[in-house]
Chain A
Amino acid sequence: MATTKSGLTIHTIELDQNGVRQTLAQEHSWLVRFTHWLNAISLAVMTMSGLQIYSAFPSFGVKIPQEDFLHFPEWMRLGDWLGGALQWHLTFAWMFTLTGVTYVLYLIVSGKWRIVILRPEEFRGVWPMVRHYFLFKPKPPQLEPYNPLQKLAYTATIGFGVVAVITGMLLFQPAQFAWQVKLLGGFGMIRIYHFAAMIGFLSFVPGHLLMVALHGWSNFYSMLTGWKRDPDYLTIHSSGRG
């Protein structure tokens, strides 16, 4: 039978061999999974093509005299040259914007933003999770699919997405959005913000992948199929159900 908890659909089924009850929670709707993987691809493409674009003027200063800030090795770059990289970057920018807006609208309309977005009163839960992960202290009890540190990471990532899209839009149309460009400190400053948004994403990815790896395949599969078997946030409370 199906029940709902924390905005998730939960199915309890019985295994036939030894009669052990199993809980299956539908963690991710098809829309979340679809936008997640498209965004993952878009972010990889945009980071790599972005580094190729940056290589055409690898500086945050003036053109004359040019002082290079960073050079990225060829294997990190996509698109072969500036023109090719821009084609990749803009093609996937539209896709990223579309999937990003779709995802955020879905969070708002479905009410699932409560699972993902860290609310101000949940901030105090972040530090105990940091202690757990980095200082190997005991794990605070978890009653929701995502812990506060996780929510902070997801919330920040959505924020990086918003910054990346807005600054990207301004870099694409600086003459049409002249006063917005001026407000943010000019074309050169906006390149810095755009670059910073990429660093934000890049700082999220290793932690995200490490956590997925540490928590096993069930997490990974749930982003593919939508379902997770016996999620730990339900095991305490699901007895007596079904």
Chain B
Amino acid sequence: MNMTRRELLKLTPILAVGALTLPAFREGLLKTGLNWTDRAAGAFFSPERLAQTFSKHELTPIEQFPINSYSDYNPENDLASWTLIVEGMVAKPGQYTLDQIQTLPKQTQNVKHICIEGWDVIGNFGGARLSDFLQMVGADPAARFVEVSCLDDYYSSYDIASCLHPQTLLGWEMYGQPLTAEHGAPLRLHMPVKLGYKSAKYIYSIRVSNVLGKEKGFWEDQGYSWYGGI
């Protein structure tokens, strides 16, 4: 029994807690934790596994579907001239009108919308599969990411696998009606396999790419998980 070793052992918990107060150590640890979390979520994701779907009786009434817009943007004046700009690793870049997008097969689904804040609702969403749209614009199969920009200055980015998920919608309807101003008219994403902040509203630009820029998402750049997979 070495006394100095014993004395040292008595200090270890204090040292461990003390290390957490060092900004460099703490930030490094939390960044590692966030990366690890995203990688774990990516490992749980399966391109085939579907999020649970519900009957129409289980839907949350649309009046009780929370509106968590981060600005008070109103799209009304932009609707007439709206087009979706498609750029990056696609065979057919350019501007797509809502009519063109709506020629794709329409899919409607009653799925959960789970917010990072801790609440969940069941909503009805209608639109085209994002995978169909990516095929329409001739997205390069080697592309890794999709970045979206929104008219309210919101922005986000996604791994291509989640974008190709059969329940990921480029949506123009909720509850059988065209999207209202609060819910992201004219076009929004809805991704039941991701947290709510990944379902960007008011999108006007889609960029298919192989590298992510420095700006990865409005919330993501402030510390939310980039992957956001559930």
Interface residues of A (CB under 8 A from B): 24, 33, 37-38, 40-41, 45, 53-54, 56-57, 59, 62-64, 81-84, 86-88, 90-92, 94, 172-176, 178-179, 181-182, 186-188, 191, 221, 224-227
Contacts and interface: CB of A to CB of B under 8 A. Distances in A.
Contacts of A86: 116, 223-225
Given A57-B117, A62-B119, A94-B37, A221 B10 contact: yes
A45 to B, nearest CB: 8
A41 B33 contact: no
Contacts of A45: 20
Interface in B58-76: 60, 63-66
B13 A57 contact: no
A173 B230 contact: yes
B112 A225 contact: no
Contact of B118 (A33, A176, A191): A191
A179 B51 CA distance: 10
A9 to B, nearest CB: 13
Given A57-B119, A91-B33, A225-B6, A83 B114 contact: no
Nearest to A87: B30
Nearest to A64: B64
Given A175-B230, A176-B45, A187 B112 contact: yes
Contacts of A227: 1, 6
A172 B117 CA distance: 12
B228 to A, nearest CB: 11
B168 to A, nearest CB: 12
SS class, residues of chain B in contact with chain A: mixed
Contact of B52 (A182, A188, A226): A182
Contact of B36 (A81, A94, A178, A187): A94
B32 interface: yes
25 contacts: A40-B13, A41-B13, A41-B20, A57-B115, A57-B117, A62-B60, A83-B219, A86-B223, A87-B30, A87-B33, A87-B34, A91-B32, A91-B34, A92-B33, A172-B41, A173-B230, A174-B112, A175-B51, A176-B49, A178-B52, A186-B120, A188-B120, A221-B6, A225-B9, A226-B9
Given A24-B1, A41-B17, 12 more contacts: A41-B16, A64-B63, A64-B65, A82-B116, A90-B33, A92-B33, A172-B230, A174-B120, A176-B193, A188-B120, A191-B118, A226-B9
A225 B117 contact: no
A53 B118 contact: yes
Chain B contact residues (Cβ within 8 angstroms of A): what range?
35 or more
Contacts of B121: 62-63
A94 B36 CA distance: 9
B25 interface: no
B197 to A, nearest CB: 10
B95 interface: no
Given A57-B119, A82-B117, A83-B224, A175 B13 contact: no
Contacts of B29: 91
Contact of A176 (B37, B46, B65, B66): B46
Interface string B37-51: 100110011100101
Contacts of A179: 52
Interface string B99-136: 00000000000001011111111000000000000000
A224 B12 contact: yes
A178 B29 CA distance: 30
B36 A54 contact: no
B164 to A, nearest CB: 16
Contacts of B30: 87-88, 91
